[in-house]
Amino acid sequence: MAAEDLPSEFDVVILGTGLTESVVAAACSRVGQRVLHLDRRSYYAANWASFTFNALLTWIQEQQVSSCLWVSTQQVSPQSHLSVLTGGASARASTGLVEPAGRRGGANTLSAEAEEESAEKEAESAETEAESAEKEAESAEAEEESAEKEAESAEAEKEQVRKSCHFWKDQLDQSHPVSASGQSEPTRKKISYAQLVKEGRRFNIDLVSKLLFSRGSLVDLLIRSNVSRYTEFKNVTRILTYRHGNLEQVPCSRADVFASRQLSVVEKRKLMRFLTSCMEETETEQGNSSFSFLQDQQLGDNLQHFLLHSIAMVTEDTPTEAGLAATRHFLRSLGRYGNSPFLFPVYGLGEIPQCFCRMSAVFGGIYCLRHSVSCLIVDDNRCKAVIDSRGQRISCSHFVVEDGYLGSMRTVTTLLSRAVLITDSSVLSSDSEQQVSMVTIPPGEACQSAVKMVELCSSTMTCMPGTYLVHLTCQSVSSAFDDLSQLVTRMFNTPESQEPGTSTHSGPNLRSVLNSDPCSDPSLVGGRPAVLWSLYFNMVDGTVPRVEGQGLPSNVHVCSGPEGSLDHEQNIKQAELIFQKIVPDEEFCPPAPNPEDIIYDGEGPTPSAEEQDSVKEAGLQEESGEDLSGQKHQQSPQKHQRPPH
């Protein structure tokens, strides 16, 4: 809507289209409040947004003023297989993207010197053709000699491997299968940076990485309000943990526990007994940490690791009550929609705020992007009106704002370190290529903070086929690159892992050939996924309110952004609290009617199918105009109904 068309009075003016603000907008519109929803950005969802690959590159360019961006892209040449890392100290203040060799400057950068060089090259081409004839004759002889040398060198290499590392022979042969013709089977297809750009619309890359608990407050709200009709979800298929350099699958359900080969029979019984007792909500001693509580249960190191870091997903010093509550939340979400407790929205997390914005628009909410608020008009500690970015005064009863708009009034407390990777294969290979994985990395393995990693496949519609999208998140200790690059180097093949002096065996033992054996050939290390493109950045942690003691008017409500937890509990609770302050006597997000039940102005209610059948049977002759002779009179055309929103 154009700025000239905006009404001058609303009940609620909301600035920012993040998740919390969008839920408040939908809830207020649903109960009849007049809502104006603005955002200075050109896209919805604010810090919760999802971008295509090309749109993300544009977003990176817009963030050039920030010093927390680190972008790298691995460009693979079919001839040289060289990896180009664009980054470094100077890349923190810029995107650091490098065009492929020979394409810098574009087609319009040819100078007079270049034209002179082309003329000289044409003169030299005649001499080159004469030399090429001689080289072709020499190359035929060289090829015959090289074939003999290759056969001899192959035998020598096999003999050397047998002598130095005889016990790896079978694994080496299996890792490089040879066909009947003596040629090696083709490896994974290389994906270039140009392909990523060309297929950029197939990517939906989230700025924030989260999942939905199947029995969490967000899923309950989506179902209760009927907003779930606007999107689809995929079930997270497996939960992994990174321990001692290895990736292990976490047994979650009863079937997983008894099918697990990582646990002994005694450990399986102990785990099932403990999980059953957790659901009973018995009283526990106050003041103990979760780690001490698990030690008192005598569960063993394996079970303690799974329960603490992969099921409860808490730290060792977390109070026992909070750890047990997180464990119950995990267990209650199991089995509702699949074998894991987590869901992920198709097309990315940016769809969720847009779904609530869509519901608000259906019930009369007005939306304006690239539109902001410049100041508030306050009287008697209440905001009476706002002045928008184009000078229009808009009266309102309540003003809801994302904390990112408060500028110098906000108090930044903590940051999150984020990394986004595009890889060519999964971190843990399996029979299915369509795995959605949740990976937990405890503190101390490769980072000072606990890291949560989500790996998405192409069936989530977030990446192109043949690639995986990996999100890593942790609490910031330093810059995002310093916090997460070491872990990425260990788990993936990156340009840093190929640098001289860097151990090629620092990755997880995903396949037996990758075991850190001193006799292994570094060139055989190919089980780790290759990083095709990566982005490191820091974002503000919304866990702690960033506006304290600033003397804001009583009817100004501040919404926090995404925080470091895996779920959305805090944001949904905050949205409900703000709604209760605005309209305390109304229900929070009541169910929206079905489209066929909506009655528009000037139209009567649409009869149901049973009512329509009864009308037809009762008055067939009157409705159809049929007389006793069986002839029919022409009927008047029916009025077309307005299509539902």
Q: Which of 52-56, 124-128, 287-291, 389-393 has the lowest mean pLDDT?
A: 124-128
At 49, the pLDDT band (50, 70, 90 cuts) reads: very high
More confident residue, 379 or 152: 379
More confident residue, 630 or 215: 215
8 A C-beta contact, residue 83 and residue 498: yes
CA atoms within 13 A on the CB side of 520: 20
Cα gap 280→71, rounded to integer Å: 48
Residue range 98-123: average pLDDT? 40
8 A C-beta contact, residue 12 and residue 28: yes
Cα gap 379→375, rounded to integer Å: 13
Range(s) within the chain of domains with CATH label 1.10.405.10: 253-333
More confident residue, 575 or 115: 575
Whole-number pLDDT of residue 412: 60
State yes or no: pLDDT of 181 exceeds 50: no
Using alpha carbons only, give the angle 339, 310, 296 rounded to the nearest 5 degrees.
120
Q: Which of 63-72, 275-284, 320-329, 338-347 has the lowest mean pLDDT?
A: 63-72
Cα gap 411→393, rounded to integer Å: 29
The CATH fold assigned to 9-49+347-413+543-582 is FAD/NAD(P)-binding domain (3.50.50)
**Class of the CATH-defined domain 253-333:** mainly alpha
pTM: 0.73
Residue 354 structure tokens:
């847009």
Burial 500-537 (b: 16+ CB within 10 A, else e): eeeebbbbbebbebbeeeeebeeeebbbbbbbbbbbbb
Q: E-assigned strands of 500-555?
A: 531-540
Whole-number pLDDT of residue 583: 96
Unique residue bearing structure tokens 């709604």? 579
8 A C-beta contact, residue 148 and residue 503: no
Helix (H) or strand (E) holding 399: strand 398-402
> What percent of the chain clears pLDDT 70, i.e. is strictly above it?
64
Residue 397 structure tokens:
């009863």
Range(s) within the chain of domains with CATH label 3.50.50.60: 9-49+347-413+543-582
